[in-house]
Amino acid sequence: MSGTTGATVCAACGGVLHADDRFCEACGTPTRPAAPTGGPGAPGAGEDGLPPVPPPPVKVTDDDGGADATAAAGACRSCGGTVAADGYCEQCGEPAVSERDHFTSSPAAWVGGVCDRGVRHARNEDAMALAVAGTRAVLVVCDGVSSAPGSDVASLAAATAACDALVAGAPDVGEGARAARTQAWSTLLVGAAQAADDAVSAGVPSDADPQDVPSCTFAAAVVDDDVLVAGWLGDSRVYWLPDDGTPEQLTADDSGAGELMARGVPREAAEASPQAHAITRWLGPDADDVTPRTTAAVVDAPGWVLVCSDGLWNYCSPAPDVARLVREHAEQVGPDPTVVAGALVAWANARGGRDNVTVALARVR
């Protein structure tokens, strides 16, 4: 079939809109009628016939995770009108953008991340917390379980508490003692997960239904010079993606898909199964065991450490494919981890954004 299509485009970014879209898949703006756009092969179209997808609007944050005053919500993202005190635009009635909808963290030039609501969810239940001290970096990602109320609050509390515990407990071990550093960080990751679980429980109201309490996943990576140590519960992931060498998914999902793969089911079939995202371990008051599994790798060559929620790996899962995806985006937008993370989030949103998306990166040199 040739010629133009009858598709409409997003008035904010030019992304293609489908008939049932409530929000633009590229930037999250509520849909508005727009003029027809060219079909595949039109000027500016990508390989899949869509126009190039710009990153979603970035809410710049300081190193402590707070929103920069110049990026604070005050204008409607949909029409540019004034947002009233009740949180809705005075001109078009759209709700204001929450600071949790899209935020970034850039604690150092070699570490950065982006946490985004995605396209389909009404709120962002993902969270991240990043910290850097010299050649050490801490990256924590928690994904709130959407079926439980308050999981957005729980995930942020968990990520912050875990990051704080890892920074405060950083081992005083010499750079040459690789085995000692690995063991020290592994032990500390267990304590950080417990601190995160305590933070989740502390935020649960006393009258909450025990069968309906907030919970979240936990994935953390610590880069200490030439050592990478990861800990996790649930299906958020840590990848080591060397520039030259074999990419690795360091974590193994605590989920229905993870159990299927452990029994020999191919990845593609396991991750497409109806229970693929049913997690089997998590943080929260109803968790049976909050002791994370840990693993380590030597990072003695240039590469990327990636910690992400399933909002990214839903669309790109095997480590070699993830490595290629990160490398291609870094070639397009440059090596800044925060910029690369934003490009990866935009890429996931352009493919449907059916879940919250968090991407945290450390560039190891």
Q: Three-class SS string for the chain?
A: CCCCCCCEECCCCCCEECCCCCECCCCCCECCCCCECCCCCCCCCCCCCCCCCCCCCCCCECCCCCECHHHCCCECCCCCCEECCCCEECCCCCECCCCCCEEEEEEECCEEEEEECCCCCCCCCEEEEEEEECCEEEEEEEEECCCCCCHHHHHHHHHHHHHHHHHHCCCCCCCCCHHHHHHHHHHHHHHHHHHHHHHHHHCCCCCCCCCCCCCECEEEEEEECCEEEEEEECCCEEEEEECCCCCEECCCCCEHHHHHHHCCCCHHHHHCCCCCCCECCCECCCCCCCCCEEEEEECCCCEEEEEECHHHHCCCCCHHHHHHHHHHHHHHHCCCHHHHHHHHHHHHHHCCCCCCEEEEEEEEC
Which among 214, 253, 250 is positioned nearest to 233, based on CA atoms?
Answer: 253
Question: What is the distance between the alpha carbons of residues 127 and 201, in angstroms, rounded to a whole number?
Answer: 16
Q: Tens-digit pLDDT profile for the chain (365 aa)?
A: 333 333 455 655 555 555 555 555 555 555 543 333 333 333 333 343 333 333 433 322 233 333 332 233 457 766 778 888 777 788 887 776 778 899 999 999 999 999 999 999 989 999 999 999 999 999 999 999 988 889 999 999 999 999 999 999 999 876 668 999 999 999 999 999 999 999 999 999 888 888 889 999 999 999 999 999 999 999 999 999 999 999 999 999 999 988 999 999 999 999 888 888 899 999 999 999 999 999 999 998 999 999 999 999 999 999 999 999 999 999 999 999 999 999 999 999 999 999 999 999 999 99
* Contact yes or no for 242/316 (Cβ under 8 A): no
Question: What is the distance between the alpha carbons of residues 4 and 9, in angstroms, rounded to a whole number?
Answer: 13
Question: What is the distance between the alpha carbons of residues 354 and 103, in angstroms, rounded to a whole number?
Answer: 18
Options 3.30.420.240, 3.40.630.30, 3.40.50.150, 3.60.40.10; CATH for 100-364 is 3.60.40.10
**pLDDT recorded at residue 12:** 55
For the entire predicted model, the pTM comes to 0.76
Which among 350, 313, 337, 352 is positioned nearest to 107, based on CA atoms?
Answer: 337
Terminal Cα-to-Cα distance of the chain (whole angstroms): 48
Question: What is the distance between the alpha carbons of residues 116 and 147, in angstroms, rounded to a whole number?
Answer: 19
